[in-house]
Amino acid sequence: MSLEAIMKSLSFPAFAIALSVGVSSIAIAQTTVPGATTVNPTETENDAGTIEQMTPGNEPVTGVPNARPRGSASGGSGTGGSGSGGTTAAESAAIAADPMARADDDMKAVLDALASLDPKPIAELSPEEARRQPSPADAVKKVLEGRNQGQDQAQAEGGQAAAPEGGVTTEDVSFPGAETEIPARIYKPEGASGPLPVVLYFHGGGWVIADLDTYDATPRAMAEAANAIVVSAHYRQAPEHKFPAAHDDAVAAYRWVLEKAESWGGDPAKIAVMGESAGGNLAINVSMAARELNLQMPVHQVLVYPVAGVDTNTKSYMENADAKPLNKPMMEWFVKQVVANESDKQDPRINLVGEADMSGLPPTTLITAEIDPLQTEGQQLANKLQEAGVPVNGRTYLGVTHEFFGMADVVADAKDAQELAAADLRAAFEKTPSGVTKTGSADGAAPETDATTAGAPAPEADMNAGAPATGPAPSGTAAGGSATGTTPNTGAVTPPPPTDRPDTPDAPTPADRPTPSASPEPGPVPPETPEERPAQP
């Protein structure tokens, strides 16, 4: 079939992606074997000069012996899409015509449950209406309810009792934000003793929707998996509070954690940051602010499909323009709510893959999803961090969508991704000397115990972080997972088109800025032994 005939049969997004990619192949010859966590793969550039992909988290690098094929454990039937090594223009166009065809079976079950809740298109709603929509977390809850009913019946028939769940305690508190008190929730692993490391977590929602309840699943899971205190901090949201309100509150939350960590039973020297979608953007911005303000540097940062750019015409944006639960119109709507003017779109705090300075930041775990408009910019951010000398352990998970990370109860890849993040956090904490003295005071004093150089990627989590050279947009739809008291929400933020922009107002220039402690040099990691992913329920 000719390319012209294919175009006639495809939707507008499909036609657009074909035009944007061109007829040349975007193949990547990935030759780096597991263990090289900070080495980019050999790649082929397309006509726009973009570089394709990080190592898929659920598919070994091409050419690795005994590689487990995608979907062998989860039942996925997708083609690999933008997560595959090479894609022709016609293939990209076909992907754009039906982006959800690549979803694994367990991911499809969540998407079907979400559809049954009848969410309205976010881009057609007011912010107030958008905040009342059912979220992916609600869909996960529905899947679990159906599964639990079947299990209860089977257990009743067999005379078996339900297995007890792992324990995490929570406490709802508030902290002094940049302008007002902000809600937060502290998660602690039940029965843990001794000073514990601390993770400051920021939820997604495009800086507009979602809250602590919507994104309860991830901090709850990470507290147990990383054996750490996790502090989930909310922030002021747009359009009531325009950019940079959320970013200012995120930095205020970090100062508060530095000051209070020891009083919660935490180790003040072992503090990491983490976030999903718009929250991933906030997490890396906290690290950037720590460098600029001479605060204690986080020992590690976990960025899950972060909003990292403003180009909404990247390959993943075009292929996933109509994806669920996050799509291009939603991202554009989010950005419209967030920014006060066009110049805000080019601020380095939003357009991370533009002019933002990545030097001196902590070792990074960067996770992206195949069926996600933000995949390309996530890959670009991984490359930019590596080019700045920051160790990066990055994975693209095939067959899953934006918001998959918090869905470990029902999506196999989410469990894998959480284990990857937790392993990297544990490794970072283990490498950091304990600090029993107070550090990181609110006046910006540097900590007595320097944790900047701690936290290399976990040995078992290897990657190739070759990322494209263009990047799109923001936030994220409400995170999945079995959350208690889930508040209906769906979200993602849209980053605007990138342009050169001056440094952030009031931020020290590179010449004025104190030199941060050197980050550890990237180093090889022992190759992992592939483990079978748990079979889909």
Please list the active-site residues: 277, 372, 402
**Contact between 418 and 221 (Cβ < 8 Å):** yes
User: If residue 170 lies in a helix (H) or strand (E), which one and from where to where?
Assistant: strand 168-176
422 vs 437: CA distance, rounded Å: 25
Environment class of residue 84 by beta-carbon count within 10 Å: exposed (0-12), middle (13-18) or buried (19+)? buried
When computed from its CA atoms, the radius of gyration of the chain, rounded to whole angstroms, is 21
Question: Which residues on neighbouring strands pair with residue 233, listed in sequence order?
Answer: 184, 202
**Contact between 524 and 63 (Cβ < 8 Å):** no
291 alpha-carbon distance from chain centroid: 21
End-to-end CA distance of the chain: 39
**DSSP class of 356:** -
360 vs 106: CA distance, rounded Å: 39
83 vs 95: CA distance, rounded Å: 11
496 vs 365: CA distance, rounded Å: 25
135 vs 480: CA distance, rounded Å: 8
What does the block give as tokens for 342? 């066009």
**218: phi then psi, degrees, rounded to nearest 5:** -65, -55
Query: C-alpha angle 377/378/382, rounded to 5°?
Result: 115
Question: Which residues on neighbouring strands pair with residue 54, listed in sequence order?
Answer: 465
Collapsing DSSP states into helix, strand and coil, what is residue 215?
A: coil
**Contact between 401 and 413 (Cβ < 8 Å):** no
Beta-carbon contacts of residue 252 (< 8 Å; ≥ 6 apart): 175, 176, 177, 178, 182
Collapsing DSSP states into helix, strand and coil, what is residue 268?
A: strand
Question: Which residues on neighbouring strands pair with residue 368, listed in sequence order?
Answer: 396
Percentages (nearest 5) of helix, strand, coil residues in the chain: 35, 10, 55
What does the block give as tokens for 359? 């030097």
Question: Which residues on neighbouring strands pair with residue 296, listed in sequence order?
Answer: none
CB atoms within 10 A of CB 431: 17
100 vs 399: CA distance, rounded Å: 9
- Given phi > 0 = left and psi -120 to 50 = alpha, else beta, which region is 64? beta
The pairing of beta strand 364-371 with beta strand 392-401: parallel
